[in-house]
Amino acid sequence: MVAFIYFTAILFTVTASDIYDVTKFGADHTGSKPCTEAIQRAINEAARNYGGIVYFPHGQYLSGAVELKSNITLDFADKVVLRFLDDPKEYPPLEETIPNGNKITLPFTPLIRAFGHSNITIRGNAMLDGHGETWWARMPPPSTRPVFLQIFWVRNLLLEDITVKSSPMYNVNLKNCDDVVIKRIKIRNPANYVDPGPNTDGININSCKRVHITGVNISTGDDCIALDSNIERNTRIPTVDVLIENSHMYAGHGGVSIGSVTAGGLRNVTVRNCIFNGTNRGLFIKSRRGRGGLVEDISYHDITMVDLRKEGIAIATIYNGSDAGLHNRDFHWEPVNERTPFIRNIEFKNIQGDSVLNPIFIVGLPESSIKNITFANVQIKSKFDIFLNNTKNIVINGNVH
Ligand SMILES: *[C@@H]1O[C@H](CO)[C@@H](O)[C@H](O)[C@H]1NC(C)=O
Ligand SMILES: *[C@@H]1O[C@H](CO)[C@@H](O)[C@H](O)[C@H]1NC(C)=O
Ligand SMILES: *[C@@H]1O[C@H](CO)[C@@H](O)[C@H](O)[C@H]1NC(C)=O
Ligand SMILES: *[C@@H]1O[C@H](CO)[C@@H](O)[C@H](O)[C@H]1NC(C)=O
Ligand SMILES: *[C@@H]1O[C@H](CO)[C@@H](O)[C@H](O)[C@H]1NC(C)=O
Ligand SMILES: *[C@@H]1O[C@H](CO)[C@@H](O)[C@H](O)[C@H]1NC(C)=O
Ligand SMILES: *[C@@H]1O[C@H](CO)[C@@H](O)[C@H](O)[C@H]1NC(C)=O
Ligand SMILES: *[C@@H]1O[C@H](CO)[C@@H](O)[C@H](O)[C@H]1NC(C)=O
């Protein structure tokens, strides 16, 4: 028995560090020939050997959709450029039953995907270019387009140092993932200040646990970071234990947004030491009747938000997907039921900046007030006033409202 354990340990230390150089599998490093199959062959060979490092040496590469598997690291040499083909035939509709029995159905195969595998890393100072321009023109909003990095049901994920540029739709989309670290990645897409935009959320996290995002730098055409939570096979899967810090957001609909998909609930989220420079709203928590779910124990502190184009901090359970919906005052009472969203116990501390619309805007539902929201040392300049409706126990810089 002892000998057996010793043997497997040795086996893994050898195989896990094995390097699978994509050029050895036939990938063209000048970027002139597509090398989708060569990249996938390298990944599959590494996976067959219980995992390894799939390495892209210095150069340029052109690819279609690739699939990551367990124990795979995509490792890019400095300044590698990986461009994705923009022919829709490369990204057909996808329907697949993954190792844990869940079924995944998508209108397009993502550019890079991992479904139901674990221990995945993508790292290196490389540029991943999704050729979004062609997609946005071909399928303008509100069309659906392929997601760049779509990662579902993965445990242990690390994204480090990569730049993701021109995504057809969401840049990074994680669903039902646990133990995620996203470090120093950069996301660049054209600004888009109106809805519906091209839907290029920077990092979109849905029903994930233990997520640490640090040092990211995002400028995009939708939310820079969005946190959601969903219902899957009648089970509410919450998003919990999230830390977002030391990050810098430029263009985007929200610097960090929560919701409006809140059905699974979200709790224990901290956002700290961030700069938002030119987003529409700074911090936005949104939901509506029909979504359900509880959002609680969220803490935002040490955030500078300058040059915002709309509200500084907005919390609303009446958000119907449009700004007009936020200003609809015609809300009838409804009995509380599983459709009702709840928001409570949120703290904002040491927040400075300026906004064009209300510095603080909170609107709940008649049957579900937004409760226990504390603002301490929050200074947001605006020519508008604070606006509150259907709220309880709101304390702003020491004053109870
Ligand atoms: C991943 O690596 C672990 C060792 O760390 C090994 O036990 C496991 O079998 C590998 N998984 C796959 C799918 O090869
Ligand atoms: C992920 O890595 C852990 C630790 O090395 C290992 O125990 C587990 O089997 C791996 N998961 C998969 C699906 O290979
Ligand atoms: C909240 O999440 C953080 C990670 O951001 C974690 O360290 C902490 O233990 C969590 N707190 C609770 C009460 O679970
Ligand atoms: C983000 O990128 C901009 C340049 O595009 C740079 O000026 C800024 O320092 C970066 N911020 C961080 C936190 O990396
Ligand atoms: C915001 O960005 C502008 C340039 O785009 C820069 O001049 C300014 O210093 C930035 N502000 C902060 C607080 O980072
Ligand atoms: C949202 O509410 C506004 C104002 O009542 C309305 O004009 C708009 O059509 C609604 N949008 C949706 C998607 O229901
Ligand atoms: C109000 O929210 C804070 C977190 O912001 C929490 O610590 C406190 O217990 C809450 N108070 C009540 C009465 O729930
Ligand atoms: C507050 O909301 C109620 C419905 O819950 C509505 O009747 C009232 O007009 C709103 N007040 C303002 C000032 O918008």
- pLDDT of res. 379: 98
- pLDDT of res. 179: 98
Q: How confident is the model at residue 220 (pLDDT cuts 50, 70, 90)?
A: very high
Nearest to 151 by CA among 205, 193, 228, 102: 205
- Between the alpha carbon of residue 256 and those of residues 69, 106, 247, 250, the distances in Å are 30, 26, 11, 11
Q: Which residues contact 277 (CB under 8 A, 6 or more apart)?
A: 248, 249, 250, 305, 306, 307
Share of the chain above pLDDT 70, in %: 96
Q: For tokens 């450029």, name the residue.
A: 81
**How do 155-160 and 360-363 pair as beta strands?**
unpaired
Pocket probe mutation, ligand 5, options 217, 277, 279, max atoms within 8 Å of Cβ: 277
User: Is 349's pLDDT higher than 80?
Assistant: yes
- Mean residue pLDDT across the chain: 94
Nearest to 203 by CA among 240, 179, 175, 234: 175
CA 322, CA 308: separation in Å to the nearest integer?
18
- Cβ-in-10-Å burial (0-12, 13-18, 19+) of 322 comes to exposed
User: Is 229's pLDDT higher than 80?
Assistant: yes
Q: Taking the model in full, what pTM does it have?
A: 0.95
- pLDDT of res. 372: 98
Q: For tokens 């699978």, name the residue.
A: 20
Distance from Cα 71 to the centre of ligand 1, integer Å:
6
User: Is 197's pLDDT higher than 60?
Assistant: yes
User: Is 6's pLDDT higher than 90?
Assistant: no
Residue 331: nearest ligand to its CA?
A: 8
3-state secondary structure at position 143: coil
Read off the DSSP letter of residue 89.
Answer: G
| Ligand 3 atom with minimal separation from the 268 CA | 1
Share of the chain above pLDDT 90, in %: 90
User: Is 7's pLDDT higher than 70?
Assistant: no
pLDDT tens by residue, 72-87: 999 999 999 999 999 9
User: Is 377's pLDDT higher than 90?
Assistant: yes
Nearest-5° Cα angle at 388, 384 to 393: 135
pLDDT tens by residue, 298-337: 999 999 999 999 999 999 999 998 888 888 877 899 999 9
**Better pLDDT: 99 or 385:** 385
- pLDDT of res. 4: 43
- Omega into 88 within 30° of 0, i.e. cis? no
Q: How confident is the model at residue 389 (pLDDT cuts 50, 70, 90)?
A: very high
The phi, psi pair for 104, rounded to 5°, reads -115, 125
Buried b (16+ CB within 10 A) or exposed e, 131-156: bbebbbeebebeeebbbbbbbbbbbb
Residue 295 and residue 340 in contact, taking contact as beta carbons nearer than 8 Å: no
CA 290, CA 283: separation in Å to the nearest integer?
22
- pLDDT of res. 17: 61
Catalytic residue check, 401:
no
Rg for the chain, CA atoms, rounded: 22
pLDDT tens by residue, 22-68: 999 999 999 999 999 999 999 999 999 999 999 999 999 999 999 99
List the single range of 4-8, 377-381, 383-387 with lowest mean pLDDT. Answer: 4-8
Name the fold adopted by 24-400.
Answer: Pectate Lyase C-like (2.160.20)
| Ligand 2 atom with minimal separation from the 50 CA | 14
- pLDDT of res. 128: 98
Residue 217: nearest ligand to its CA?
A: 4
Q: How confident is the model at residue 231 (pLDDT cuts 50, 70, 90)?
A: very high
User: Is 135's pLDDT higher than 90?
Assistant: yes
The phi, psi pair for 2, rounded to 5°, reads -60, -45
